[in-house]
């Protein structure tokens, strides 16, 4: 009888469809979730609060982000009832599974093929260091063992929170992370105006405003590298309004510190509340996490202000200068860059004469751009040489050392360009290491700007890239500055090194880049690094942890630059915005603008020049010297002052902004006419901001013999200057004026 039964069971197993057999493995043993005490956890800065509720069942909900609320425990009484949590919208870090049906911050696929994760509070702790309080909240899935730690660094004075998440596979089997956002926010307002940035080569950071409806809005980059040339991983969100307001109203500004593929999503639910997720893009990146391993996400940085976009920008800038940008408090030198003045066509002599001129005009550094390297494959155009980083013996027989010494002898610092992540097929490197190139088996390796991308997920390539930087630094004692370029996106991706684990590629490329940069900073803490990627292809707070400044765009036309700088500066402080005066007609747009206008625009960032000085007339050189000289008077304000935007170039014919010292004693005001305005004969009135109303400021226009403003040279109270009485005459398109203010 027993035998018969066993036979029948075996037969049943044999005839049951595979699916049904698998289903038999599912059990319905409900895991017991430990009850916890209902409590509020508040992450606070001087003026803001991020408030969470721990429910008795251990679910962690987000209740509030915005103004500081007094005792956050007040929220205990106000918290929603259980019925309101039916779909679990508003979870602090929503995981795919359980009752949650929205966009997940965390989506895990387990070894048994299941996708459910339910996270419950396990505890939290608060630690403090100078200026920053860290709150870490532990969550766990009691079925799979998945563990999540939400970490919030709250910078008190700056009112900025930098949030990241640590995801640990506490189960016994490997899993795949399908979504792994850095953090989530859940916001309640009547209206949401999203301001974000799109772009293209030579037109980065173009502003777009969008009133959010109920469909999900996603801002994403899948470019692999050069990730921010299209979209930037940052935004401003105006609450309760359909209008972008500079000086008033509640605004949240956010930015992801990551230089690879990113994704920001904004989902307005049926209760009209807004769920925001920011993190690495999950595109082709189902990240494998072995048992016991932890994945640490990049930081999502955000701030809230009731003083409009201006207040939000100032919070972010103050935080970035102090805590995020490499050497953020430091003033970086003015410079002459060889690119638009010489391109690939130079000899030692050309460069020496440029250095002579740079020194004579009062600049502080000379930067040798592309074209200095490659011998078997000389870099005389963009089609050869990338990868072979020895100085070209024909163009520069005396070597780089000779150039650097010459610069130093002239009192100039010396900088040099590299593009270490790339190789031209026409290079010794590409021949020697074909397996170092990003490629997909059996497919064409597509070129972009005649070059291939090196596979930075491969540690051997990381060593090589570090070596390029290291050897370049050894080319001469005292190389002061490296311009790090990166001129294409990843296409048809694949890593020979990662073999069957291609899902790791995009994440590990970026981590590989950061590994290299970390090593560089350990060895070369003082060298100034400019982060360039065909212009603004790597404008993000991840890269800025290692870099001192960014090249915001290859478009050096002053008019285009106004739009690019205006928007860049909404999120990133002026100290990182390299801005160069170039020749006219402009090489990118063909636009012709006066030299003074070009200087006045470039002086609102880190001033540089990028032209052949020999082509300037005597008067132009005199003006250049004057503008450069006066820049040093207020440069510290550009680098560390608070920005106040007085007129947006998107709103009319003028652009104006000012930087005010932290003690409000000094300020510099930049004003520009970008379109002819016939009614401007009586002057254009601007309300100066950020000044102390009770102080008296002497106003001095710079770089002119006849001032554009009737009050030039006189002293006025801060309140008078804020009243609209400041009205310089900017009569024509490209009229511009810079005013320096100092309290008596
Ligand atoms: C792109 C950069 O953005 C330019 O400034 C210049 O360095 C070129 N690359 C050189 O190839």
Closest among 582, 726, 578 to 639, alpha carbons compared: 578
Please tell me whether residue 601 adopts helix, strand or coil conformation: helix
Tokens found for residue 590: 């063909």
226-255 pLDDT, tens digit each? 999 999 999 999 999 999 999 999 999 999
**Contact at 8 Å (CB) between 493 and 462?**
no
Distance from the CA of 485 to the center of ligand 1, in angstroms? 7
Does ligand 1 have an atom closer than 6 angstroms to the CB of 60?
A: no
Specify the pLDDT at position 80. Answer: 62
> Residue 251: phi, psi to the nearest 5?
-135, 135
Closest among 310, 245, 324, 308 to 660, alpha carbons compared: 310
For ligand 1, atom 10, name the residue with the nearest CA: 370
Does ligand 1 have an atom closer than 6 angstroms to the CB of 551?
A: yes
Closest among 302, 305, 161, 319 to 238, alpha carbons compared: 305
Does ligand 1 have an atom closer than 6 angstroms to the CB of 370?
A: yes
Indicate the top mutation candidate among 200, 202, 339 to test ligand 1's pocket, ranked by most ligand atoms within 8 A of CB.
Answer: 339
Atom of ligand 1 nearest to the CA of 532: 3
What CA–CA distances, in Å, run from 660 to 549, 670, 703? 21, 12, 20
Q: What angle do CA 48, 49, 51 make, to 5 degrees?
A: 165
Does ligand 1 have an atom closer than 6 angstroms to the CB of 535?
A: yes
Q: What angle do CA 596, 600, 603 make, to 5 degrees?
A: 135
654 vs 101, more confident: 654
Q: What angle do CA 603, 551, 480 make, to 5 degrees?
A: 85
Distance from the CA of 582 to the center of ligand 1, in angstroms? 14
User: What is the average per-residue pLDDT within 44-48?
Assistant: 98
For ligand 1, atom 9, name the residue with the nearest CA: 534
Closest among 91, 41, 90, 50 to 69, alpha carbons compared: 50
Specify the pLDDT at position 678. Answer: 83
d(CA 713, CA 702): 10
Upper half-sphere CA count for residue 742 (Cβ side, 13 Å): 8
Distance from the CA of 141 to the center of ligand 1, in angstroms? 49
| pLDDT over 70 (residue 411) | yes
Does ligand 1 have an atom closer than 6 angstroms to the CB of 148?
A: no
Residue 618 CB burial class (10 angstroms; 0-12, 13-18, ≥19): exposed
637-686 pLDDT, tens digit each? 999 999 999 999 999 999 999 999 999 999 999 999 999 988 766 799 99
**Contact at 8 Å (CB) between 248 and 225?**
no
d(CA 600, CA 671): 8
d(CA 570, CA 686): 19
Does ligand 1 have an atom closer than 6 angstroms to the CB of 369?
A: yes
d(CA 491, CA 582): 32
Distance from the CA of 486 to the center of ligand 1, in angstroms? 8
Q: In what order do the strands lie in the sheet with 666-673?
A: 642-647, 654-660, 666-673, 736-743, 696-702, 715-717
Is the peptide bond preceding residue 585 cis, with omega within 30 degrees of 0? yes
DSSP labels, 28-39: --PPPPPP---E
**Contact at 8 Å (CB) between 280 and 245?**
no
Specify the pLDDT at position 682. Answer: 78
Does ligand 1 have an atom closer than 6 angstroms to the CB of 338?
A: no
Distance from the CA of 414 to the center of ligand 1, in angstroms? 17
Closest among 635, 584, 77, 586 to 333, alpha carbons compared: 635
Beta bridge partner(s), residue 251: 238, 305
Indicate the top mutation candidate among 381, 385, 551 to test ligand 1's pocket, ranked by most ligand atoms within 8 A of CB.
Answer: 551
Residue 29 CB burial class (10 angstroms; 0-12, 13-18, ≥19): exposed
For ligand 1, atom 2, name the residue with the nearest CA: 534
Work out the percent of the chain whose per-residue pLDDT is above 90: 90
Does ligand 1 have an atom closer than 6 angstroms to the CB of 417?
A: yes
**Contact at 8 Å (CB) between 258 and 542?**
yes
User: What is the average per-residue pLDDT within 362-377?
Assistant: 98
**Contact at 8 Å (CB) between 542 and 510?**
yes
Please tell me whether residue 586 adopts helix, strand or coil conformation: coil
132-176 pLDDT, tens digit each? 999 999 999 999 999 999 999 999 999 999 999 999 999 999 999
480-511 pLDDT, tens digit each? 999 999 999 999 999 999 999 999 999 999 99
**Contact at 8 Å (CB) between 568 and 205?**
yes
Atom of ligand 1 nearest to the CA of 554: 3
Indicate the top mutation candidate among 340, 530, 554, 587 to test ligand 1's pocket, ranked by most ligand atoms within 8 A of CB.
Answer: 554
**Contact at 8 Å (CB) between 234 and 197?**
yes
For ligand 1, atom 5, name the residue with the nearest CA: 554
Distance from the CA of 339 to the center of ligand 1, in angstroms? 7
DSSP class of residue 535 equals: B
Indicate the top mutation candidate among 340, 341, 417 to test ligand 1's pocket, ranked by most ligand atoms within 8 A of CB.
Answer: 417
Indicate the top mutation candidate among 487, 539, 586, 587 to test ligand 1's pocket, ranked by most ligand atoms within 8 A of CB.
Answer: 487
| pLDDT over 70 (residue 82) | no
197-234 pLDDT, tens digit each? 999 999 999 999 999 999 899 999 999 999 999 999 99
Domains of the chain: 39-324 (2.70.98.60), 364-551 (3.20.20.70), 646-743 (2.60.40.1180)
Count of positions (residues) in the chain: 744
Dihedral, 85, 86, 91, 97 alpha carbons, nearest 10: 160
**Contact at 8 Å (CB) between 206 and 198?**
yes
d(CA 279, CA 296): 11
**Contact at 8 Å (CB) between 140 and 148?**
yes
User: What is the average per-residue pLDDT within 293-319?
Assistant: 98
Does ligand 1 have an atom closer than 6 angstroms to the CB of 485?
A: yes
306 CB contacts (<8 Å, ≥6 apart)? 67, 248, 249, 250
Specify the pLDDT at position 99. Answer: 87
Which residue is it, tokens 């965390």?
106
Please tell me whether residue 59 adopts helix, strand or coil conformation: coil
For ligand 1, atom 11, name the residue with the nearest CA: 370
User: What is the average per-residue pLDDT within 530-537?
Assistant: 98
Which residue is it, tokens 């799109």?
198
Distance from the CA of 34 to the center of ligand 1, in angstroms? 58
| pLDDT over 70 (residue 374) | yes
Does ligand 1 have an atom closer than 6 angstroms to the CB of 553?
A: no
DSSP class of residue 696 equals: E
Specify the pLDDT at position 445. Answer: 97
**Contact at 8 Å (CB) between 208 and 239?**
no
Does ligand 1 have an atom closer than 6 angstroms to the CB of 588?
A: no
583-596 pLDDT, tens digit each? 999 999 999 999 99
User: What is the average per-residue pLDDT within 42-55?
Assistant: 96
Which residue is it, tokens 């599974």?
97
357-368 pLDDT, tens digit each? 999 999 999 999
Q: Using pLDDT thresholds of 50, 70 and 90, give the confidence band for residue 271.
A: confident
**Contact at 8 Å (CB) between 489 and 224?**
yes
Mean pLDDT taken over the chain: 94
User: What is the average per-residue pLDDT within 270-289?
Assistant: 96
432-463 pLDDT, tens digit each? 999 999 999 999 999 999 999 999 999 999 99
For ligand 1, atom 1, name the residue with the nearest CA: 534
Tokens found for residue 476: 């001469």
DSSP class of residue 543 equals: G
Beta bridge partner(s), residue 194: 210, 237
DSSP class of residue 322 equals: I
Q: Using pLDDT thresholds of 50, 70 and 90, give the confidence band for residue 329.
A: confident
d(CA 269, CA 347): 62
Tokens found for residue 344: 């690939």
| pLDDT over 60 (residue 11) | no
| pLDDT over 80 (residue 528) | yes
Specify the pLDDT at position 27. Answer: 55
Dihedral, 420, 425, 428, 433 alpha carbons, nearest 10: 80
Q: Which residues are designated catalytic?
A: 485, 554
Closest among 629, 640, 686 to 667, alpha carbons compared: 640
Specify the pLDDT at position 127. Answer: 98
């Amino acid at each position: 009888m027993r035998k018969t039964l066993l036979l029948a069971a075996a037969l049943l197993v044999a005839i049951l469809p595979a699916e049904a057999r698998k289903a038999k493995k599912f059990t319905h043993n409900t895991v017991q979730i430990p009850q916890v005490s209902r409590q509020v956890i508040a992450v606070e800065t001087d003026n803001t609060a991020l408030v969470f509720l721990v429910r008795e069942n251990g679910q962690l909900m987000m209740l509030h982000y915005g103004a500081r609320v007094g005792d956050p425990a007040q929220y205990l009484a106000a918290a929603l009832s259980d019925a309101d949590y039916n779909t679990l919208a508003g979870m602090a870090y929503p995981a795919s599974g359980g009752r949650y049906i929205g966009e997940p911050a965390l989506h895990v696929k387990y070894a048994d093929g299941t996708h459910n994760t339910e996270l419950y509070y396990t505890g939290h702790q608060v630690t403090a260091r100078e200026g920053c309080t860290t709150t870490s909240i532990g969550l766990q899935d009691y079925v799979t063992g998945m563990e999540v730690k939400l970490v919030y660094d709250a910078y008190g004075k700056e009112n900025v929170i930098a949030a990241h998440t640590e995801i640990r596979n506490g189960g016994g089997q490997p899993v795949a992370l399908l979504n792994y956002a850095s953090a989530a926010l859940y916001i309640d307002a009547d209206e949401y105006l999203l301001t974000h940035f799109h772009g293209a080569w030579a037109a980065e950071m173009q502003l777009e405003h969008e009133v959010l409806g109920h469909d999900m809005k996603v801002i994403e980059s899948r470019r692999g590298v050069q990730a921010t040339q299209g979209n930037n991983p940052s935004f401003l969100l105006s609450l309760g309004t359909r209008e972008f307001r500079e000086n008033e109203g509640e605004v949240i500004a956010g930015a992801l510190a990551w230089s690879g593929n990113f994704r920001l999503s904004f989902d307005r639910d049926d209760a009209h509340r807004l769920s925001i997720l920011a993190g690495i893009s999950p595109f082709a990146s189902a990240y494998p996490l072995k048992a016991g391993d932890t994945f640490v996400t990049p930081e999502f940085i955000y701030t809230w202000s009731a003083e409009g976009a201006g207040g939000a920008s100032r919070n972010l800038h103050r935080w970035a200068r102090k805590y995020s940008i490499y050497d953020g408090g430091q003033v970086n030198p003015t410079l002459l860059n060889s690119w638009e003045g010489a391109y690939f066509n130079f000899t030692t002599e050309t460069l020496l004469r440029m250095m002579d001129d740079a020194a004579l005009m009062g600049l502080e550094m000379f930067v040798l751009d592309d074209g200095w390297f490659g011998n078997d494959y000389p870099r005389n155009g963009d089609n050869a040489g990338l990868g072979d980083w020895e100085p070209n013996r024909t163009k520069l027989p005396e070597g780089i050392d000779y150039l650097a010494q010459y610069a130093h002898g002239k009192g100039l610092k010396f900088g040099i360009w590299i593009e270490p992540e790339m190789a031209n097929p026409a290079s010794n490197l590409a021949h020697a290491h074909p397996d170092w190139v990003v490629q997909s088996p059996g497919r064409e390796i597509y070129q972009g700007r005649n070059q291939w991308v090196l596979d930075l997920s491969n540690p051997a390539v990381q060593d090589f890239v570090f070596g390029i930087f290291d050897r370049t630094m050894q080319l001469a004692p005292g190389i002061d500055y490296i311009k790090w370029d990166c001129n294409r996106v990843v296409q048809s991706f694949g890593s020979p090194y990662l073999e069957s684990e291609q899902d790791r590629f995009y994440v590990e490329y970026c981590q590989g880049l950061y590994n290299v940069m970390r090593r560089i900073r350990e060895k070369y803490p003082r060298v100034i690094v400019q982060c360039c990627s065909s212009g603004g292809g790597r404008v993000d707070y991840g890269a800025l942890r290692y870099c001192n400044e960014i090249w915001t765009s290859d478009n050096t036309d002053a008019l285009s630059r106004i739009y690019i700088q205006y928007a860049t500066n909404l999120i990133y402080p002026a100290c990182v915005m390299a801005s160069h005066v170039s020749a006219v007609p402009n090489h990118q747009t063909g636009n012709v603008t006066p030299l003074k206008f070009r200087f006045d625009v470039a002086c609102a960032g880190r001033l540089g020049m990028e032209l052949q000085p020999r082509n300037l007339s005597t008067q132009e050189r005199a003006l250049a010297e004057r503008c450069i000289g006066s820049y040093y008077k207020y440069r510290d304000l550009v680098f560390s002052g608070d920005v106040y935007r007085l007129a947006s170039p998107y709103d009319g014919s003028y652009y104006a902004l000012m930087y005010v010292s932290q003690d409000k004693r000094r300020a510099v005001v930049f004003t520009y006419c970008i379109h002819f305005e016939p009614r401007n004969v009586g002057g254009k009135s601007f309300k100066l901001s950020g000044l102390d109303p009770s102080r008296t400021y002497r106003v001095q226009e710079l770089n002119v013999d006849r001032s554009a403003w009737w009050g030039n040279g006189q002293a006025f109270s801060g309140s008078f200057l804020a009243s609209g009485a400041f009205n310089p005459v900017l009569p024509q398109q490209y009229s511009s004026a810079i005013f320096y203010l100092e309290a008596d």
